[in-house]
Structure 1
Amino acid sequence: MSERVLIAGCGDLGYRVARLLLARGEKVYALRRHPPRQDDGSLCWLKADLGRPETLGALPAGITQLVYLPAPDARAQEAYRTVFVDGLRHLVGALDSRYLQRVLFVSSSAVYGDHASEWVDEATLPAPRDFNGRILLEAEQWLAGQPFRSVVLRLAGLYGPGRLQLIERLRAGTAVVPRKAVHWTNRIHVDDAAAAIVHLLDLAQPQALYLGADDTPLPIDVLYDYLAEASGAPQVAEGQAPASIGSKRLSNARLRASGFRLRWPDSRAGYLDLLRSSSN
């Protein structure tokens, strides 16, 4: 029997998930405050505001799976709380619990904070450094206490089509990297992230938590230097590591053990493909 899937906060990543689900015949609803005016007609758009529960009164019946991946209005504590904590509770409360079987919550590796370049996996205790990680962790913990099956996917930094801000900074000469001490960075291509979400929706007995990262954590200077050369950017200057992103190496062993295979296991190859595509 096909699923009835609701994607809450259907931006770029959510739309990629929707296309994968539609291609195999699922009924997919996509919720946004401002849905696009035009679409191909196969995706059912819903207009609602997760921060305003009164707008959630006309949700379709029989939703069996919820993918929750909204984007805050701003990088501010109140904006994060509104969508990730309050919004999640509002939406789950508005859905019919008789049908809802699974909620997949897209979180972030920001919940881990800094781990001094050590390997991090699902057993590593969270230690968020900033409000975004703390609020995401609070939402995860609330979801774990609900009576339906829930799965959390903590994603590394996304890159992909339309996500070339790093390349732009390199070309502008504004990106810097630490060189005296190694600072590790982790990435996942947005198409791999979308495929991982669909994969986890399909698992009969998923675990409660997965890390979504590619196979190849990299020292940030190695990645930036490679991309600078590949994109014709100037040599990357030395500077401080990103203040809000701790150094750690994310292990995707649990996700791979579940049967998932990445298209882009190394972000250098993924970025290189993007550079070639953008130059055509």
Structure 2
Amino acid sequence: MHRYESILIAGAGDVGTRLARRLAAEGRRVHALRRSEASGGDGIVWRRGDLLRPDTLAGLPPVDALVFAATPDARDEAAYRAVFVDGLRHVIDALPTPPRRTVFVSSSAVYGEHDGAWIDEDTPPAPLGFNGRVLLEAERWLATRDVGGVSLRLAGLYGPGRTQLFDRLREGKAGVPRDRQVYANRIHVDDAAAALAMLLDVETPASVYLGVDDTPLPIDVLYDHLADLLGAPRPPEGPAPAGVGNKRLSNARLRELGFRCAWPDAREGYAALVRASSV
């Protein structure tokens, strides 16, 4: 593995901040870019800037590697395009020298409907919604640049602070299809950060990886398990999540690098969240 010593994380939200702390603990020079102020004292150089406003990105330092982990403020096509297409271009253009490695946080939303079949990085993308279309456009633009581009297509994130599903289950608002197997694909936020850290250092990476745990689960199995943990009623019959598609994501390519999830099964990860938060 090759080790890059100076890294800029553009979009230091939940996953980006977890990655920044992990890299700083390894003694690397980490610059974390976000729109809001952040306190120091953690070995991270916090920088304030807006990816949508190139003028605020002046003065970025030269770095070996870039991780683009931004998220849009709104769930509409204009907001996604502004962040993932324009914002990615703005930050790369603002750097004084091109990074030798760029890791782009993408999403499994680039895939379509597969009737519960296993899919991997070689499965042709067929986005069902604007989010997947925009992310795929950004991935393809990155691939045209000489910046060592790698895209990590993350499955659904869960972890500390991400407890909206608990509330929906308690309130009886989380229906599930029970007449057919519709799969949920998840990855814990700490595992997502660990995967990003690994992809920074792979000497000759592939252009795309899937970031997902080891255990795709039928959504009714997962939600019933969570309801039991919470002491909530099991969810009623309902439609599958819209615009997601039914598929099982394989992390075999990531595992070939030596990656192992700390939380290989979301049932275990969610159980730890319930214990820790006493919710």
1:66-89, CA deviations, whole angstroms, 9 ceiling, x for partnerless residues? Answer: 000101010011110000000101
**Percent identity (aligned):** 58
**Secondary structure of residue in 1 paired with 2:109:** helix
* Preserved contact between residue 2 and residue 25 of structure 1 (Cα < 8 Å): no
Retained in 2: the 8 A contact 1:68–1:104? yes
Q: Distance in 1 between matches of 2:187 and 2:9?
A: 20
In structure 1, how many angstroms separate the alpha carbons of the residues matched to 2:41 and 2:245?
41
Q: Which runs of 5 or more residues in structure 2 are unaligned?
A: none
Are 2:240 and 1:238 aligned? no
| 2:72 alignment counterpart | 72
Q: Does 1:121 align with 2:120?
A: yes
In 2, Cα distance between the equivalents of 1:67 and 1:129?
26
Q: CA deviation at 1:105?
A: 0.1
Query: For 2:26 and 2:174, how far apart are their aligned partners in 1?
Result: 41
Q: Secondary structure at the match of 1:80?
A: helix
Counterparts of 1:235 and 1:2, CA distance in 2: 47
1:171 maps to what in 2? 170
**Hey, what does 1:8 align to over in structure 2?**
10
- The CA deviation at 1:173 is 1.1
- CA separation of 1:174 and 1:27: change in aligned 2, threshold 3 A: same
Contact 1:211 1:252 in 2 (8 A): yes
Q: Pick closer, same or farther for the CA change 1:41–1:159 going to 2, 3 Å.
A: closer
- 1:91 corresponds in structure 2 to 91
1:41, distance to aligned residue in structure 2 (A): 4.7
Q: Tell me the alpha carbon deviations over residues 44-99 of structure 1, each in whole angstroms, 9 at most, x when there is no partner.
A: 11111111111111112x2110000101010011110000000101111111235x
Q: Which contiguous aligned blocks of 4+ residues in structure 1 show a shift greater than 4 angstroms?
A: none
Quote the Cα distance in structure 2 between the aligned partners of 1:2 and 1:187.
28
2:52–2:82 CA contact under 8 A, matched in 1: yes
Structure 1 residues 123-162: aligned runs within 5 Å: 123-162=122-161
- 1:25 is aligned, of 12, 27, 30, to 27
Give unmatched runs, 5+ long, in structure 1: none
Number of residues of Structure 1 aligned to a counterpart in Structure 2: 277
User: Given the superposition, is the C-alpha separation of residues 115 and 144 from structure 1 closer, same or farther in structure 2, using an over 3 Å criterion?
Assistant: same
Structure 1 position 168, deviation (Å): 1.4
Partners of 1:2 and 1:27 within 8 A in 2: no
Taking the aligned partners of 1:131 and 1:86, their CA distance within structure 2 comes to: 15
The code of the aligned residue for 1:68 comes to F
CA–CA distance in structure 2, aligned partners of residues 268 and 261 of structure 1: 17
Return the offset for 1:181. Answer: 1.6
Q: Relative to structure 1, is the Cα distance of residues 89 and 223 closer, same or farther in structure 2, using a 3 angstrom cutoff? A: same
Given that 2:66 and 2:103 are in contact with CA atoms closer than 8 Å, whether structure 1 keeps it comes out as: yes
CA 1:42–1:114: 2 relative to 1, 3 Å = same
1:176 alignment partner, SS class: coil
What RMSD over aligned residues (CA atoms) do the two structures have, in Å?
1.2
Which residue pairs with 2:36 in the alignment? 34
Residue 46 of structure 1 is matched in structure 2 by 47
